[in-house]
Structure 1
C-alpha cells in the first residue's frame, strides 16, 4: 500500500482557534484538517519552546485508524515535562476525532500517514 507522508505545519493558535471547530461544513482539504486539529491543541502550561510531531492515519469516516505515534520530540526539562507535552498533543488529536470530512477528501484519506507538529509558545 502506498503511503504518503504529509507534514501539516503548525498554524498560529489564534487562527486555528478561530477556524478549527467552527467549520459549518465538512472539511475539504488537509489544511482544513490541520486547522481543526490545531483548534483542539492547548499546550501544557509551564512548558515553553517545545514541540512534538505525531503521525496518524484516518479512516474514511474521519476517525483514527489507531493511536497517534510520536515521531519527534523537542522538550527541554524533565522526563515528566516531556511526557506531559506528548500526552497533551496525543489527547488533542483524540479529542478532535472523528472529523467530518467531505466525501472528496474522505475517499482519498484512508490509510494515508500524516504527520503534524504541535508546539508551545515562544518556540
Structure 2
C-alpha cells in the first residue's frame, strides 16, 4: 500500500494505509480491528472523526486536506440527530453522545484551522 484510502463499507470504515508503527498502535488504541486477509483496519462508522484526525496527524502528505476530502461517502451519520429520530439512538447514553459531538467539534475546528492556513498561504 503506497497511499492512504478510507472508505465506508456497510456500517464501518475500512482504512488502507501505508505501514506506520505509530498508526498501528494508535489504531489499536482507538479500537480498530486489523484484518490480515486484506491488510486493512476496520473501525466503527461512528469513529470517523477520530480516524480522520489520526490519519491527518500520521499521514499529512497523503491527507493534506480536511476530513471531508477523504473517501468517506456517508457523513450523514455524523450530523446531529433530529429530535424525532432520537428514539432510534435510545441505546446511546447522553455522555457517549456528548463525547461524540465534542470529537466532531474538535475535528471541525481542526478543519477550520487548516482552511485558514491554506487561505493565508494563497496570499
TM class by smaller structure: 0.3 to 0.5
Relative to the length of structure 1, the TM-score reads 0.32
Q: Hey, which of these two has a bigger chunk of helix by percent?
A: 2
Give the structure with higher Rg (CA).
2
Q: Hey, which of these two has a bigger chunk of strand by percent?
A: 1
Relative to the length of structure 2, the TM-score reads 0.32
Which fold has the larger relative contact order, with Cα–Cα distance below 8 Å and residues 6 or more apart in sequence? 1
